[in-house]
Structure 1
Amino acid sequence: MSTRVRFVSFAFVTLGLAACGDSNSAITEDTRDASVVVPTPISDATTPTPTVDAGDAGTVDAGPIENRNMGTSAGCGRAAGKGLQDRTITVNGKARPYLRFIPQSYDPNVPLSLVVVLHGSGGTKERAREFAFEPEAGGKYIFIYPEALPQPPENENRWQTEAGSEDYALFDALVTETETTHCIDKDRLFVAGFSLGARFTSMLGCYRGNTIRAIAPGAPGMNAQSLPLDKGPCLGEVAVWETLGDADIDHKEGAELVRDYYRKANGCSATRLPTAPNGCEAYQGCRPEVPTQWCTHAGGHMWPAYAPAAVMNFFDQFK
């Protein structure tokens, strides 16, 4: 049984229209939606030197802990397809393309976890799949890769992260559809996203925290002057694994706003201790249901090489 909490957030983090996909790295050709590698070796952190965040060490006020067990989905016991599926779903009268991946080992009588993966600004559903979480999933997860709608003036695919946008309806519809067609453990819904997709991931952690168990935002670009999380009450609570490159200056403020908001919302102290893999730190004192980690790497605006394994290991801990 998973233990969750409902709280109203008077936010310490805000989202805005800062650039969310730019990259100065030469490692990837798509400068709008950089993605994956930092060519550094992976090793476990061993130095138990604590890091203490500067500034307010307080927490976000939270309501009473709510015991919940959402059980398994309606799709359990039904025959369903496997492998990669290129699909569309109609939301608000619009056909929305997405990819869905079901492992070949799928058994309709065994509930799997569900992960929604969100591309960055100008990205595609195929680009999101290149984040390479599937090889680290061990056949225990179904993956959904939605695609944002083209937005002016560049006509590039961009998530609309403001509360109540049609992309929230898309998220809800995709989860509901997959729970209807496949056997899902409804207590193990996860979201990961990069750049603008990380901004949307961070917002979903607030507005859909009553159904999402944990999020993994990579380099969320946010702006303290617009779109605060307190435009509406946050629901539930989510565990958080977040990453940022040391050279990703454009997204530093936004990523730290997300980090600090969820650290406080999850009842953590301002102290972090090293954890695996090298570059990651775990906040201390968090409520046990919502571990919160902050991971850095030497690169720019991209997922670090250790991200796929680290994110899936983080998700694996939730039973």
Structure 2
Amino acid sequence: MNKLSLFNRLAGLSLLLNFTAAGCDGGAVVASSSAVPIVSSTASSSSSLPPASSSIAVSSLASSSASSVGETIPAGATLVYAVNVGGPQTTLGGVEYQADRFARGGTQNATTSAIAGTDEDTLYQTERYGTLSYEIPVSNAAYSVKLHFVEMYQTTTGSRLFSATVEGEPAVQNLDIFQEVGGNTAYDVIVPAVSVADNALTLQLDTAIDNATLSGFAIYSNDGGVFEEPPTPEPGEALPSIGCGTSKTLQDGRRNISVNGGNRSYILRTPANYNNQTPYRLVMAYHWLNGNAEQVANGGMGGSTDDPFYGLWDLADNSTIFVAPEGLNSGWANTGGADIRLTDAILAELESELCIDKSRIFATGFSYGAGMSNAIACARGDVFRGVALYAGAQLSGCDGGTTPIAYFGAHGLSDSVLNISQGRSLRDRFAANNNCSATNAPEPANGSGSHICTEYQGCDDGFPVTWCAFDGDHYPTQKDRGQSKSWIPGEAWKFISQF
């Protein structure tokens, strides 16, 4: 595609931020029975659990109306860890809820509406919605968990229906919060006697209609269990996925995957000498506007990448697993977090079926694909180790955007589609997040036919920032004057392979 055509198409695209009201995916409204709380539930009040021993009466499994008195947090149980899902650190009833952490999947959302059923609205004014999970690192012990819900979007019964499990055991099934308590009203569920044997307490929410939602949770220890801060992997130390040691069943090529009931796809390419005992680096490479996964995976198509996976496949030399996701409508609008959810679903599948080093997951892309990589850097900085952007801008939203992540950017001085100032803006965000020192990043002169790469100084250990400016237009594999090969893949690979 020529640059003018790409510019015209991109200019005509409505760029949507990845921060929308919950439930935007919609779903058929059906008649449904009242939710069945598997353990216990109650409309919340300001009597939310104190950090130690108070008991709260809640309803039991026997009733679908959540009205009978039953389980409570055991007397003497102590707070282990609490999370304000989708929001910053806050308190509720004297309990300190940490800023959103350990999430996989879902999209953050917030409301300013007053919340009934509680004197402390803050916890209930944020959420994650979609299909999502949390894995909280704790010691092997028994726990009780309090889940906090609110319906901040739907206004009719039957418009949202979802289920939740804790450590694989049902907590709620077919929950319709609006049917239980109405809109903008706090609703809590207590899950007692949860046994953890794998050093992680897992919460999983699955959608039946529209999107599952969660606003917070608090974990209490019944018998001395404690939160265990996960160690930061040492440089070069692998963090194997659960797929390590299992037989390889995923074959290279295009694969279909279900995401929130819809069909999406991606192209997988694994090393020729794949070993299920070796945790591999993973690179997810996103195509440009009106490009496709085939062009990224094969290279040499459309002029936007000369070699497979932006030239990184050959440089990786069978050390890395590569994925090329397929965008919707040949792009990455990421409407309602749809493309973040695709990314989450692909990661979940690969980590369970292949041997992935979870400490070395990267995103890369050109133009719209760079915009998608930026959205990942914003929303999944706790999952991805780093990103490499070629001619990027904020095109796919930036949900979050405060978590440090290793960052590489390359941009042309005379980019006629996405001005270099847009690339500098992304760079500056992550230089600040990574606590880099003020660093002079010189750029080559127009007409020089050259490039200059700058490694930012003073960044937090493990979170470098590299910026490469070149004399050129909107292109991912720019060549210096007189050179037959692009310098960009080598610089990007040097950045990625340092980890």
Amino acid at match of 1:221: A
Amino acid at match of 1:177: E
Aligned to 1:125: 293
Deviation at 1:121, TM superposition (A): 0.9
The alpha-carbon distance between structure 1 residues 212 and 22, as it changes in their structure 2 partners (threshold 3 A), is: farther
Aligned to 1:290: 463
Residue by residue over 1:180-223, the C-alpha shift from the partner in whole angstroms, topping out at 9 and shown as x without a partner, is: 11101100000001101111111110110001001001111337
Residues 44-83 of structure 1 aligned to structure 2 (within 5 Å): 67-69=231-233, 71-80=239-248
Note the residue ranges of structure 1 that are not aligned, 5 or more in a row. Answer: 1-20, 34-62, 151-156
Residue by residue over 1:225-249, the C-alpha shift from the partner in whole angstroms, topping out at 9 and shown as x without a partner, is: x95x4xx534642101100012204
Residue by residue over 1:93-145, the C-alpha shift from the partner in whole angstroms, topping out at 9 and shown as x without a partner, is: 22212110001111111110111000111110012222221001121110010
Aligned to 1:159: 332
The alpha-carbon distance between structure 1 residues 221 and 78, as it changes in their structure 2 partners (threshold 3 A), is: same
Deviation at 1:279, TM superposition (A): 2.1
Deviation at 1:31, TM superposition (A): 9.3
Q: Secondary structure at the match of 2:458?
A: coil
- Corresponding residue to 1:242 among 409, 428, 441: 409
Task: Please tell me whether the aligned partners of residues 386 and 496 of structure 2 are also in contact (alpha carbons under 8 angstroms).
Answer: yes
Deviation at 1:297, TM superposition (A): 1.9
Task: Please tell me whether the aligned partners of residues 120 and 195 of structure 1 are also in contact (alpha carbons under 8 angstroms).
Answer: yes
Residue by residue over 1:19-78, the C-alpha shift from the partner in whole angstroms, topping out at 9 and shown as x without a partner, is: xx97259xxx99979xxxxxxxxxxxxxxxxxxxxxxxxxxxxx9x98434821111112
Q: Within 2, Cα distance between the matches of 1:24 and 1:306?
A: 24
Aligned to 1:23: 3
TM-score by length of 2: 0.46
Amino acid at match of 2:415: D
TM-score by length of 1: 0.71
- Larger relative CO (CA 8 A, sep 6+): 1 or 2? 1
Q: Secondary structure at the match of 2:3?
A: coil
Aligned to 1:85: 253
Task: Please tell me whether the aligned partners of residues 366 and 390 of structure 2 are also in contact (alpha carbons under 8 angstroms).
Answer: yes
Higher Cα radius of gyration: 2
Residue by residue over 1:251-279, the C-alpha shift from the partner in whole angstroms, topping out at 9 and shown as x without a partner, is: 222111101111111111221468xx952
The alpha-carbon distance between structure 1 residues 259 and 234, as it changes in their structure 2 partners (threshold 3 A), is: closer
Identity of aligned residues (%): 31
Task: Please tell me whether the aligned partners of residues 239 and 279 of structure 2 are also in contact (alpha carbons under 8 angstroms).
Answer: no
Task: Please tell me whether the aligned partners of residues 82 and 101 of structure 1 are also in contact (alpha carbons under 8 angstroms).
Answer: no
Task: Please tell me whether the aligned partners of residues 362 and 387 of structure 2 are also in contact (alpha carbons under 8 angstroms).
Answer: yes
Aligned to 1:104: 272
Aligned to 2:493: 312
Task: Please tell me whether the aligned partners of residues 280 and 294 of structure 1 are also in contact (alpha carbons under 8 angstroms).
Answer: yes
Return structure 1 stretches of 4+ with deviation > 6 angstroms.
29-33
The alpha-carbon distance between structure 1 residues 279 and 81, as it changes in their structure 2 partners (threshold 3 A), is: farther
- Corresponding residue to 2:320 among 121, 141, 149: 141
Deviation at 1:298, TM superposition (A): 2.2
Count the aligned residue pairs. Answer: 251
Q: Within 1, Cα distance between the matches of 2:255 and 2:428?
A: 37
Report the RMSD for the aligned CA atoms in angstroms: 2.9
Residues 169-188 of structure 1 aligned to structure 2 (within 5 Å): 169-188=341-360
Aligned to 1:301: 474
